[in-house]
Amino acid sequence: MLDGRYELVAHLASGGMGAVFQARHIHLRKDVAVKVLRPELAASPDLVERFRREAEIASALEHDNIVRVTDFGRSEEGLLFLAMELLTGESLFDRLRRERALPPVRAVGLLFQVCAGLQAAHGLGVVHRDLKPENVFLARTPGGREVVKLLDFGIAKFARGPGDTATQVGVVVGTPEYLSPEQAMGLPVDCRADVYTVGLIAFRMLTGRHPFPAESPRDLLLKQASCPVQPLAEASPDLAAWPALCAAVELACRKDPAERPPSAAALGELLAASLGPAFVAPPGATPALGPASAPVRRPPPQVDPTLSLSLPVAPAALPYRRALRLTLWTTGIAALVALSLLGFRAWRARPLQEARELIGSGRAAEAVSSLQAALQADPGRRDLELLRARALLGLPGKAGEALEAYAAAQASGPLELDDYRALVPLLGEERSLADRAARLLRAAPPAAVPAVAEAAGAGSGVQRLRAVTMLRDMGAEDAVDRVAAYGALLADADCDVRRAAARRLGELGDPAALPALRAAAGARAERRWLISSAAKGPACGAAEAGEAVRRIQSANP
């Protein structure tokens, strides 16, 4: 029970700042979603202010395409929470991860709703500044309709005009992959920063990839600040059949704010018009876009309704271009990039540090949840996937998931020796797990050889046999004393292990194995029958050992 009003029914998701639960308001008998700030973060004034700001801004934005926030408070235990409408569906990020790209008609239908929600925010002077596929939720109504809901206004700001100092100039805020050029350079922003971000999201939806591959954080910030976005028709030739759509997205992605559509409303109308009769406005959930009302700092150029790709450059854009070119090649931009790089690195390092602290305190399950949320926000990060694999391997019944995570991490390079050592004990597990672990180990010679060689002399007989057999498959059987390794298995409790070891020693043909093989061939074991007393007979594996002796002697007369 939270604050005596909300009964937490189920856990929905976890992230870096907290967790989201399905809850029931006990007085109103209504289901809601409740976001709870992590208790240890409540001591940070900045994070508490961001949490409060999200509640303040979102509660003021009443629109079908923005998640409705209904309550904000602090429980008697000191937990900060935010109550909002309960949504059913998935994020745009999850949709794109599953489908990679969307056809133009579907993509524009969703983007139109994104623009409608942004226009409502911009009309109240609110700039989102952190729009990304993770913050675009595709909610499913009881009637089966899909409605876009914009989430997370935690770093949104009120655009108060040129004198606004709510965000210090030079401070970069937002997710690097979806920053506008103004944000990348720490310059003041208005609603056209969100318009640029919608253009990047549109590019991702239509082509299946981000326009700027992130070779390094510095390259990413410089590209956001100065590099033009590749034309859609070049990135995906199939889109050349939609020239008006390509032109609309390219306008949104212009580096100079003055060259972009002046508002989210204008961009939404351009996108809708680009489909012609194929566009059908979503019924009910999204009313028609109204006139542009968000504040701008200088008059924008008029957009030709024919969406010509060769629009004239507005005179107001020329000083900005000269200033941008000069800024990018001065020591000032170098210092700004350096500061941004430090912030970007700190942002990327935070999930790792939090997960390591959780693992160190024995809370591996919480670490796994935290890392999964971080991977949703930053997919493909090898360091996050590797730490997730290590955490999963320490949890009961999670070995299969750990192997999947290790496979994802190994796809971009060999694992560390300690990771291979952690995988080796799985060779002694049931066959499916052992085979999957073996595939990971075989895929990385010589990096995995030392760990496999260590396993050939320790652990269960099954594990040791599989390890030394794997060394043979990896062409590294000489990494161990083969006669000693297989000879030690001749007395193992597992009959199949003894037989396999004897057969392999016969194949090797080394006379040094004869003493151990003769002992195994002469071993006898007690056998009990249903209607007679116990009797001694050849032990399991004795026949294979005898055959190995004969084979070696015939090869070495």
3-class SS of residue 62: coil
Active-site residues, by number, are 130
Cβ(293)–Cβ(358) under 8 Å? no
CB 505 within 8 A of CB 483: yes
HSE value, Cβ hemisphere, 13 Å, CA-based, for 42: 13
Identity of residue 314: A
Among candidate residues 196, 82, 66, the one with its CA nearest the CA of residue 129: 196
Q: Are 25 and 6 in contact (CB under 8 A)?
A: yes
Whether the CB-CB separation of 133 and 92 falls below 8 Å is answered with yes
d(CA 308, CA 102): 24
DSSP 76: T
User: Can you read off the two tokens belonging to residue 126?
Assistant: 């609110």
Distance spanning both ends of the chain, measured CA to CA: 83
- Written as six digits, the tokens of 540 are 């399991």
Nearest to 199 by CA among 283, 275, 286, 132: 132
Distance CA 355, CA 374 (A): 10
Cα→Cα distances 497→73, 235, 252, 453, 539, Å: 64, 57, 67, 18, 13
Token couple for 89: 């569906």
